Amino acid sequence: MRWESPTSSTARSWSPMEIAQGPGDPFHNIQSTFAPEVQAGYFRNFAGSSWLWGAKFKYKYLGTTATQQGVIVGQTGSFTPTGGGAATPLSGNVLMQSMQTSIEHELSALAFIGQSFTSGMVYVGAGPALLSTKSFINRAVGFGDVNGLPTAITGAPVSFASSTWMWGAAAQIGMTYNLAPTWFLDFNYTYTVTKNTTSTTRRPSPARRPA
């Protein structure tokens, strides 16, 4: 299994007297892993033809993580002096020890058409997919340039975690080879893509060891 993770972040930091936020640049990370898979399906030939139709349900466990070390997210915001007064614009950065995206489970339901032969069949199919993902921000600290000096406006490093299910679409091309009347080998290639998903985390969590 090979997958590509385009990931970006938007960081927001605040203290009782300062607030800042800003988007991070996306990073791409390609991972390859062995992924056990279970599938169940059904097919039948069109009447009087070698062409066939069918459907299959697939479950795959991926359990892999993409990691970006040393992430810096630019920030803009404002600073209010203690005791009141006019807010002063400030800029700065949120420094993260690492940012990670994990993908764990993939489910897909595919409809397919193909052509049968004496020793097997070839087919193509497509359908919806659902993936379970987790995101981690490890040891983030927000710095603002206050009166020209870099100042940690968020205190001690904090970590965040979130999880979500992402909808997508899968396309598959494959072939089977018959070993016996009820046994066959299935060789296939599946391409899955998901829509862009935003997750928001406000509650700190324990830091996660980088993968």
Q: What is the pLDDT of residues 134-163, one digit of tens each?
A: 888 888 888 777 667 777 777 788 888 888
Which pLDDT belongs to residue 109? 97
At 14, the pLDDT band (50, 70, 90 cuts) reads very low
Lowest-confidence segment of 14-18, 46-50, 81-85 by average pLDDT: 14-18
Phi-psi region of 48 (alpha: psi -120 to 50; beta: other; left: phi over 0): left
Nearest to 63 by CA among 115, 132, 158, 157: 132
> pLDDT tens digit string along 184-200?
899 999 999 888 777 66
93 and 141 in contact (C-beta within 8 Å)?
no
